[in-house]
Amino acid sequence: MRIVFMGTPDFAVPVMTEILGQGHEIVAVYTRAPKPAGRGMDLRPSPVHALADKFGCPVFTPRSLRGDEAAELFRSHDADVAVVVAYGLILPPAILESPRLGCLNLHGSLLPRWRGAAPIQRAIMAGDRETGVMVMRMEEGLDTGPVGMAERVAITEDMNAGELHDRLSVIGADLMVRALAALARDSLQFTPQSEEGVTYAHKIEKAEARIDWTRDARSLHDHIRGLSPFPGAFFEADLGKGMERIKVLRARPCDGAGRPGEVLDDALAIACGVGALRLLDVQRAGKAPMKAEEFLRGARLARGAQLVAPA
């Protein structure tokens, strides 16, 4: 089939790779424009853009898809279907209606739960035990379209957002090519989403990353792994050279009690509102991630120290 692929981050790369591997023709790739990155702040193309260049696919990076000119350009691709994976721009009606077989979106949740921008992080942060990926036919609403195919994935107790992201992207790639094969045979059946159980996965705000030690240990454990490795939940403490920000990349609940934020022992057990958390993997600003044992060799954070509470 002739496909317009629309995606931007790493999550979309396996999907595009699998589509190309199945022999489909990607006639155009739409992605977000290159952004300044690195120490030199050179313009860096998105992961999808880099892959498109590798395979010689035409790339388009519009700031908006609204307007007659954008719609006319999109129609000129003469696509059978558009595949959308974490693209980052809203598709107006003129775009949604352009491909002969419509627009398919791969979404990283079990809709209608976690519609929106951050379904992987929000599922873990909420303590969900299960999530998945779904292929839906796009319509004007936010992730409201009918579902054609789905795969469920268990969220294990210590799985973080990065690990779940990688698992869902691989499963999602296989799911999408199976959906495209069924669509080509005119056998892809769509089921409307339930009107019950709708939740929204709002974009992660910077303020959410600060660890609030007054929360219970179990919910903080979910919060930390839902934000790991990016943007990374953090606390602030004086390690001997003034206040520093330390990201917590992995932790686990443990026995203990004390003032919220109090260091309970010499192995980074921290008191929470209920229970305690033992920090396992952390990262100081400008440093690589490290195990707690390595961190403690270079940090003054002894038993009885008090970590900074949220402002």
CB-based contact 81:101 (threshold 8 Å): yes
Tokens of 153: 């994935």
Please give the pLDDT value at position 144: 97
Comparing CA positions, the residue from 240, 248, 235, 232 lying closest to residue 281 is 248
- Looking at the DSSP assignment, which residues form a beta bridge with residue 271? 276
Contacts of 14 (CB under 8 A, 6+ apart): 169, 170, 172, 173
Cα separation, 53 vs 67, whole angstroms: 27
In order of their start, the domains of the chain are 2-200 (3.40.50.170), 206-297 (3.10.25.10)
Comparing CA positions, the residue from 238, 232, 226, 300 lying closest to residue 266 is 300
Its pTM stands at 0.94
Comparing CA positions, the residue from 62, 63, 33, 37 lying closest to residue 48 is 33
pLDDT tens by residue, the chain, 311 residues: 999 999 999 999 999 999 999 999 999 999 999 988 767 778 899 999 999 999 999 999 999 999 999 999 999 999 999 999 999 999 999 999 999 999 999 999 999 999 999 999 999 999 999 999 999 999 999 999 999 999 999 999 999 999 999 999 999 999 999 999 999 999 999 999 999 999 999 999 999 999 999 999 999 999 999 999 999 999 998 887 788 899 999 999 999 999 999 999 999 999 999 999 999 999 998 899 999 999 998 887 889 999 876 65
* Cα atoms in the Cβ-side hemisphere of radius 13 Å centred on 213: 27
DSSP-derived pairing of the beta strands 103-107 and 81-85: parallel
Please give the pLDDT value at position 311: 57
CA of 299: how far to CAs of 209, 243, 265, 269, in Å? 22, 12, 14, 15
Cα separation, 201 vs 180, whole angstroms: 27
Cα three-residue angle 148-150-155, rounded to 5 degrees? 160
What is residue 247's three-state secondary structure?
Answer: strand
Please give the pLDDT value at position 310: 60
